[in-house]
Amino acid sequence: MASTIVLKRRIGSIKNTRQITKAMQLVSASKLRRAQDYAQASRDYAELANELLARLGGITEVGRQPLFAKRPVKNRLYVLMTSSSGLAGAYNANVLKQLTTAVQKDRSDKVASHVIAIGNKGAQFVRRVHDIDLQAVYPGFGDQPAANDIRPVLNTILGQYKAGETDEVYVLFTKFLSTMSQTATSERLLPAQPPTASRAASSMSNFEPDIETVIDQITTRLIEAQVWQALLESIASEHAMRMVAMKNATDNAKDLIDDYTLELNTARQAAITQELAEITGGAEALNG
């Protein structure tokens, strides 16, 4: 049994840790409320962007547009969204598992894998993996990113695809479903999504100034909406998973404190009992 001094130090250390985890839980809960509102408010726009992309694919002229062009896949680009800090449960691990599975398939298919990492945790992981080209690292865009923050990422994606340097582009992120449920997701950005049979039949006409310019600009904005939504979903998921992880850590700290307090009381009682026995034994020795 540990001494009372050691047990007191352990209890004090765990109490300090519990204060930290409790504070982090409250901060994450506050940030989650705002991030959740942002993510949910823009979902309708992102869904409409996907629908418009599918409808644009039904126009005959899109076959000449570089963002709709389909090529044999020799290079695949992944936009990886992770956090720049830890203590968020399995948030980073889940999306990195998605990347690992995709890269393994690329290797078997003789496809070169390239990554643009948003968040330092993803960049650290990719640097340790063989045969992955880490093209760029963005440390993160904070809790309230602006649309201009993702513009460099978007320009890189579109530029590489138009130049034929990559043949497919996927975004890997964590989709926010609820406070207790988030799922790692992989969505294709380029080539732009093909139409369904019903949407392909819809007509879109009267383009100004010309159909090529309109389709190029619209497609760029709609892909930007997809990347933007993925970023908002990732931020909300990170705060949710960190809040839950810190709550679990706080609860575990309380259980440890209770266990060590019980052990401390037992040790104190044993010490008191031993002292009483020594006093009683000494008194009997004097009387004898």
- Determine the average pLDDT of the residues in 160-177: 93
Alpha helix ranges (H) inside the chain: 4-41, 43-56, 91-108, 120-127, 151-162, 197-200, 211-287
Q: What is the mean pLDDT of residues 65-78?
A: 88
Largest Cα–Cα distance in the chain? 117
Report the b/e string of 145-177 with b at 16+ CB within 10 A. Answer: beeebbeebbebbbebbeeeebbbbbbbbbbbe
Better pLDDT: 129 or 61:
129
Q: Quick one: average pLDDT of 176-190?
A: 91
Structure tokens at 79: 């936009």
Res 271 pLDDT > 90: no
* Average pLDDT value over all residues in the chain: 85
Query: Looking at residue 211, what is its pLDDT?
Result: 61
pLDDT over 60 at 5, yes or no: yes
- Strand order of the β-sheet with 181-190 is 132-138, 112-118, 75-81, 168-178, 181-190
The residue among 250 and 192 whose pLDDT is bigger is 250
Q: What is the pLDDT of residue 62?
A: 61
pLDDT for the residue numbered 139: 86
Mean pLDDT of 70-79: 93
pLDDT band at residue 2 under the 50/70/90 scheme: low
Predicted local confidence at residue 198, as pLDDT: 43
User: Is a pLDDT exceeding 90 seen at residue 65?
Assistant: no
- Domains of the chain (ranges; CATH) run 24-245 (3.40.1380.10)
> Please, are residues 39 and 176 in contact by the beta-carbon 8 Å criterion?
yes
What pLDDT, on a 0 to 100 scale, did the predictor assign at position 148? 84
Higher pLDDT, 102 or 148: 102
| 58, 142, 209, 218 from 206: Cα distances, Å | 15, 41, 9, 14
**Least confident stretch, 12-21, 182-191, 271-280:** 271-280
Q: Are strands 112-118 and 168-178 parallel, antiparallel or unpaired?
A: unpaired
Percent over 70 (pLDDT), the chain: 88
Q: Given the structure tokens 């479903």, which residue do they identify?
A: 177
Task: Return the pLDDT at 258.
Answer: 93
pLDDT for residue 274:
80
Task: Give the pLDDT score at 130.
Answer: 83
Bridge partners of residue 137, in order along the sequence: 117
> pLDDT tens for residues 197-255?
344 434 455 556 656 666 777 788 888 888 999 999 999 999 999 999 999 999 999 99
Per cent of the chain over pLDDT 90 is 49
Q: What's residue 234's pLDDT?
A: 94
pLDDT score for 197: 39
60 pLDDT higher than 70: no
Position 196 scores a pLDDT of 47
Give 138's strand partners.
118
pLDDT value, residue 58: 63
Q: 50-64, 151-165, 191-205, 207-221: which range is least confident on average?
A: 191-205
